[in-house]
Amino acid sequence: MTEFASRIRDIRLSEIRKMFEVAVEDTINLGIGEPDFNVPEHVREALKEAVDEGMTHYTSNMGMYELREAISEKLRTENRVHVEPESIIITVGASEAIFMCTQALLDRGDQALIPDPGFLSYDACVKLAEAISVPVPLSMEDGFSMTPERVESLITDDTRVIIMNSPSNPTGSVMGKDDIKGVAEIAEDRDLIIISDEIYEKIIYDGKHYSPACFTDNALVINGFSKTYAMTGLRIGYVAGREDIIEELLKVHQYNTACAPSVSQVAALAALRGPQNCVKEMVDEFKRRRDLMFRSLTEMGLECILPGGAFYMFPQVGDSRGFTERALDAGVAVVPGSAFGEAGSDYVRMSYATSYELIQEAMERLKPVCGV
């Protein structure tokens, strides 16, 4: 086997995908990772117009200047992060931004700190860059926050990058200002780069979102439109940060994807510039579902943190694979926490990106699984 083949073999295929291959028709799917809402009407209109007006050609590698200007403005006014449009690359979803950052910033043998449990792409993208993932174990006692103490204790001479994700997939945890600032200060002191995945920024119920880029120039902001505007299939996101780093990232981007889809860029601009009440309505509905799921699970005796953001609950169940199988037998698909890293082994992830009524029914079905 070649070295490349063995590296690929070491990357696990998504367990979430596997779950749905085995789920039968009547199963209630609590594994969904995308909002079950429509793309806002004004964004749909902008898309149609873009097609009619022939906006179907390449844009500049970095993306439409007008969109980058709007993102620069958004970062300045909402996040207190100052990045010029020239230091923003429009990407094919946040996914491409994560891939691009790991490819450009990591060499063979370098170490990247990743949250554990954390979004599956981090470990895979670090491995594709021939680098080494160093899991930062997150605990329920700390509300699944990435604490500066944990981060500090895992830094070695080979550490180059820290990946952060708040609000988090899979735990729904929202890091507080002190932890964000603390990790940002470590990056500054140790000359490390933070890759901050902020894709769930707007799906937040309690607390406030802070970007580490507000505290250090060593942080790259990754964000996108998939979750906030229910535009997952339009594949549009961005990365913003220091000009010298963005220049390096561009080398990966321009030969890998050339540019993000032009009609999706038009849609993203319309999303940013248009009315935001659609986001509020979606978040209010997610909160209603979160409260239902949290109440039901805690009444069944499962311990979990009340997620401050995203649309995932992460209850502690003991043996996550056993629980997942029993839940599936009862007609509910969940994702074993072990899919998100070693520290997730006692947990399962349940998404509430499904209707209130289906969540009610799923909670009923889970009662016997929890011995109620």
Tokens of 282: 């979606």
Residues in 62-81 at the binding interface with ligand PLP, rule: CB under 6 A: none
| CB-nearer residue toward ligand PLP: 261 or 296 | 261
Query: In degrees to the nearest 10, what's the CA dihedral of 11, 16, 18, 24?
Result: 180
Residue 174: CB minimum distance to ligand PLP, A: 13
Judged by CB under 6 A, the residue of 35, 85, 93, 117 near ligand PLP is 93
Regarding beta strands 348-351 and 312-313, do their DSSP bridges make them parallel or antiparallel, or are they unpaired?
A: antiparallel
Give the binding range for ligand PLP (CB under 6 A) out of 59-67, 93-101, 207-215, 315-323. Answer: 93-101
For residue 190, give the 3-state DSSP assignment.
helix
Spatial distance between the Cα atoms of 151 and 154, rounded to a whole number of angstroms? 5
Q: Which of residues 104-123 bind ligand PLP (CB under 6 A)?
A: 119
Q: How many binding residues for ligand PLP (CB under 6 A)?
A: 13
CB of 233 to ligand PLP, least distance (A): 9
Query: Which residues ranging from 116 to 155 are in contact with ligand PLP (CB under 6 A)?
Result: 119
- For ligand PLP, the closer CB: 268 or 366: 268
Check residue 103 for interaction with ligand PLP (CB under 6 A): no
Task: For the segment 159-218, give every residue that binds ligand PLP (CB under 6 A).
Answer: 165, 169, 197, 199
Of the pair 40, 366, the CB lying nearest ligand PLP is at 40
The minimum distance between CB 307 and ligand PLP, in angstroms, equals 13
Q: How far is CA 294 from CA 113, 308, 335, 354, 360, in A?
A: 30, 12, 17, 15, 11
Q: In whole angstroms, how close is the CB of 330 to ligand PLP at the nearest point?
A: 26
Strands (E), 117-176: 132-137, 159-165
Structure tokens, 143: 């509300």
**What secondary structure, in 3-state letters, does 257-274 show?**
CCCCCHHHHHHHHHHHHC
Q: Tally Cβ neighbours within 10 Å of residue 196.
A: 30
Q: Which residues bind ligand PLP (CB under 6 A)?
A: 33, 93-95, 119, 165, 169, 197, 199, 224, 226, 232, 237
